Structure 1
Amino acid sequence: MSAIVSYFAEQQPSTQWRDFLSALAQEFEAQLDAAQLRELMARVGERFAANHAVGECDSLDAFAAALNAIWRELDWGFVDLVETDDHLAIHHFCAPLAAFGPNSQAWTPGFLEGAYQYWLRELGASSVLALTQVAVDNPLALEFRLANEEADHRS
C-alpha cells in the first residue's frame, strides 16, 4: 500500500478531462452495453499499445520496467508482474479510469486488457494464452491473468 500512497503523493490527478470523460461515458453507455463497451475499450487499448512499443524485453523484470516507463510518462499508475506456476499476474495500480464515472468499472478496464494483450502478443505469447481480468479487493488496483485458456476448460 505504501507504493500507492507514494504514487499519489507524487501525482496530481488532472481535472481538465473529468467532466468531458464523464459525459462521453454517459453517451457510450446510452448507445452500447457493457460487453460492447469493454470490447471497444480493448480495441482502443490495442491501438494505444501499438503506438507505445515496449521494445525488446528479455525478462519479466525488463517487461515490467518497459511498462512502468510508459505508464509513468503518462501518469497512468504503475504495474507489478508476478509469475506463478499456472499464470502471469499483471497488477495495475492507480489507473485513472475512474475519470469515466462511477458506472464505468465494468468496461473501462478493457483498455488495459487490450493494451496488455497486444504487448504480450508482440513479445511472443502463444495464442492459447488468454488474458482476463480477475476481481481484487483493492479499489486502486486491477488484476489481469495470462493463462492457458485450454487448461481452464479442463475440469
Structure 2
Amino acid sequence: MQDEHTATLLDYYTRHQASTQWRAFLTALAEEFETQLETAQLRELMSRIGVRFADAHPPGPCATLDDLASFFNATWSSLDWGFVHLVEQEEYLAIAHFCAPLAAFGEPAARWTPAFLEGAYRQWLHELGASALALHQVDTDERHALEFRLAKAA
C-alpha cells in the first residue's frame, strides 16, 4: 500500500512525464482515433505498434527472470518509459509496468493504449521462447502500474 506522499509524487510524475509539446497532440490524436475505431480495434492497433517496437529493440540472451527484468528495465529506462517488476506466482508470471507515459493520450484512451505494452511484451516473450504461453493485461487497483500476466493458454 502506498502512503499519501508516494501516491502524490507518482501522480505528479505521471502528469509531467510526457513532454508538454506532445500532450495536446497525443490527446487530439487519441480523440480522432476513437471517432474512427472501436476499442477492440484500437487495442489491436496499439498491440501491432508494440510488436514493431519490440522488433526494433530485440532482447539479448535472457536465461533467468533477473536477466529478463534487466532487459525490460534497461529498454524502458533508456526511453524514460518507467520501470518493471516481475513477480513469479504459482500459476503465472506477473509483469507490473510502472509509470508508462500513456496518460499523455488522455484518460479515455486508458482503455486501449496499454495494448502497446502488451504487444511489446508478447513479442519479446515469444522471441525468448514463451510462444506456448498467453499474455494478457489484467485490471488492478494500482493506478500507477499496468499488470500483464504470462500463463498457460486457456
Give the TM-score, by structure 1 length. Answer: 0.88
Q: How many residues of Structure 1 are paired with residues of Structure 2 in the alignment?
A: 147
Instruction: Tell me the residue number matched to 1:117.
Output: 122
The correspondence for 1:147, drawn from 141, 148, 151, is 151
Q: Which residue of 1 aligns with 2:76?
A: 71
Q: Which has the higher helix share?
A: 2
- 2:139 is aligned to 135
Residues 81-96 of structure 1 aligned to structure 2 (within 5 Å): 81-96=86-101
Contact 2:18 2:104 in 1 (8 A): no
SS at match of 1:146: strand
Unaligned runs of 5+ in 2: none
- The amino acid of 2:76's aligned partner reads W
* Alignment correspondent of 1:105: 110
Q: How far did residue 14 of structure 1 move?
A: 1.5
Q: Which amino acid aligns with 1:26?
A: E
Displacement of 1:5 = 4.8
Cα deviations across residues 5-27 of structure 1 (Å, max 9, x unaligned)? Answer: 58x4xx85421110110110011
Cα distance in structure 2, aligned partners of 1:15 and 1:70: 23
Matches of 2:54 and 2:140 in 1, distance apart? 24
TM-score (norm 2): 0.89
Task: Report the RMSD for the aligned CA atoms in angstroms.
Answer: 2.0
Partner of 1:153: none
What is the rounded CA distance, in whole Å, between the counterparts of 1:87 and 1:105 in structure 2?
Answer: 24
| SS of 1:90 mapped into structure 2 | strand
Equivalent of 2:53, from 42, 48, 51? 48
Q: How does 1:12-27 map to 2 (within 5 A)?
A: 12-27=17-32
**Partners of 1:15 and 1:52 in 2: how far apart?**
26
CA distance in 1, matches of 2:37, 2:149: 26
- SS of 1:17's partner is helix
| CA distance in structure 2 between the aligned counterparts of 1:84 and 1:132, rounded to whole angstroms | 15
* Structure 1 residue runs of 4 or more that deviate by more than 2 Å after TM superposition: none
